[in-house]
Amino acid sequence: PGPFYELCRDLWPGHYEPTIGHHFIRLLETKGLLRRCYTQNIDSLERQAGVSPEKIVAAHGNMDEAHVVGTQRFVEVDELRQAIFAGEKGWRALAATHGGLVKPSVVMFGEDLPDRFWDLQE
């Protein structure tokens, strides 16, 4: 899990800024023209640009939530962030606290897309 957590640290929201494209999506919402924003990106830049969470469908999940692997038990995402940024000692302690590894709610190869993706398809 170490390399995965290193990647999470590098991709964690706050390292990158929304582009003009992300702000354009927010403008569409502001003008009442955005029905929904489907994204495959896990970086949460749409939300950072100001797009309402209700409008975003993160097909591959994102870093806005976290859970214990193999369960539906949610963990505060800030708790995961602190553990990841503390390094191996941090994420191992978090796993011990919650009875298993904790990961952001991103879709890994072979995992199902989030229910929200299927619930909102039309």
pLDDT in tens, 48-103: 999 999 999 999 999 999 999 999 899 999 999 999 999 999 999 999 999 999 99
If pLDDT is split at 50, 70 and 90, which confidence band does 26 have?
very high
Q: Which residue among the candidates 23, 60, 67, 98 is catalytic per the annotation?
A: 60
pLDDT at site 35:
95
Q: What distances in angstroms separate CA 73 from CA 70, 76, 99, one per listed residue?
A: 9, 10, 10
pLDDT at site 109:
86
Percent of the chain with pLDDT over 90: 76
* The pLDDT of residue 110 is above 90: no
Residue 79 corresponds to which amino acid?
A: E
Threshold 0.75, pTM exceeds: yes
Residue 67 designated active-site? no
